[in-house]
């Protein structure tokens, strides 16, 4: 069992036994002293900008019927920071060209949507898709495929890097933002985190330190 699954089981057991304690059926909660499993932090091994472009080119030109659409989904995930379910729910109506904003429908509830800027790469992707497909209805999905895992893993293997998942593309988005100088609380909001940046700090805090060290080398007196 993964640490995350184990800890959720512990939380559930504690909650159940706490009800019994509150009702006077138990003197104390016997699960209160169960130690949680430490979470293993995944080491991020992400492609360089050149490697990422090689992945996209490889997938887009693979020759399969859905190859261009798989490449579109991968870029959509990377350039927006959206979760897979959020990205596949995006429609052209979610784009506000006047304000240069994209409304990302929440994957947890109908009200957990968020608004992010249309970053230059994301805007270029939208323009490319529209030019290729022609005019589509406002409720047409931007992503035409629900997954691109097979194509993504195959492309990674071909260019010789560690296989990536859809969620790794979300990490890639956050990493590029932080490396570009965006502060972690802002990146956290773009990702749709509701913890004020705590999770992003744990996951990407080392990137901020690396960026800070690199910027410090530019300071001269």
In the prediction, which pLDDT does 93 show?
A: 97
Q: What is the pLDDT of residues 93-127, one digit of tens each?
A: 999 999 999 999 976 655 578 999 999 999 999 99
Burial class of residue 196 (count of CB atoms within 10 Å of its CB; 0-12, 13-18, 19+): exposed
> Once rounded to an integer, what is the mean pLDDT over residues 11-16?
95
Angle between helix axes 49-60 and 67-80 (nearest 10 degrees) is 150
Residue 139 has pLDDT above 60, yes or no: yes
Contacts of 170 (CB under 8 A, 6+ apart): 77, 81, 82, 83, 191
* Integer Cα distance of 104 and 75 in angstroms: 15
Distances (CA, A) of 20 to 10, 29, 149: 16, 8, 45
Structure tokens at 166: 């859809």
The per-residue pLDDT for range 70-89, each reduced to its tens digit, is 999 999 999 999 999 999 99
In this predicted structure, what is the pLDDT of residue 213? 73
CA–CA distances in Å: residue 143 to residues 73, 118, 120, 153, 163? 6, 16, 18, 19, 22
Q: What is d(CA 185, CA 200) in angstroms, rounded to the nearest whole number?
A: 8
198 — pLDDT class (breaks 50, 70, 90): confident
CATH topology of domain 49-216: hpI Integrase; Chain A (1.10.443)
Q: Whole-angstrom Cα distance, residue 212 to residue 158?
A: 34
Cα angle for residues 9, 12, 17 (degrees, 5° grid): 125
pTM score of the predicted model: 0.77
The contacts of residue 22 (CB under 8 Å, 6+ apart) are: none
pLDDT, tens only, 161-180 = 999 999 999 999 998 998 88
pLDDT for 90 beyond 70: yes
The more confidently predicted of residues 139 and 110 is 139
């Amino acid at each position: 069992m993964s640490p995350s699954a184990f800890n959720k089981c512990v939380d559930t057991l504690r909650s159940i036994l706490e009800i019994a304690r509150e009702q006077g059926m138990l003197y104390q909660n016997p699960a209160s002293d169960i130690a949680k499993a430490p979470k293993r932090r995944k080491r991020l091994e992400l492609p360089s900008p050149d490697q990422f472009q090689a992945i996209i080119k490889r997938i887009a030109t693979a020759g399969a019927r859905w190859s261009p659409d798989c490449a579109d989904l991968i870029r959509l995930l990377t350039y927006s920071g959206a979760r897979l379910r959020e990205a596949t729910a995006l429609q052209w109506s979610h784009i506000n060209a006047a304000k240069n904003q994209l409304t990302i429908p929440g994957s947890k509830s109908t009200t957990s949507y968020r608004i992010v800027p249309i970053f230059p790469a994301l805007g270029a992707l939208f323009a490319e898709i529209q030019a290729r497909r022609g005019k589509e209805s406002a409720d047409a999905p931007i992503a035409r495929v629900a997954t691109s895992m097979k194509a993504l893993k195959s492309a990674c293997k071909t260019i010789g890097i560690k296989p990536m998942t859809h969620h790794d593309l979300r990490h890639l988005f956050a990493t590029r933002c932080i490396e570009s100088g965006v502060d972690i609380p802002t990146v956290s909001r773009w990702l749709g985190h509701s913890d004020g940046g705590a999770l992003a700090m744990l996951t990407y805090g080392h990137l901020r330190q690396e960026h800070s060290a690199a910027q410090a080398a530019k300071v001269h007196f």
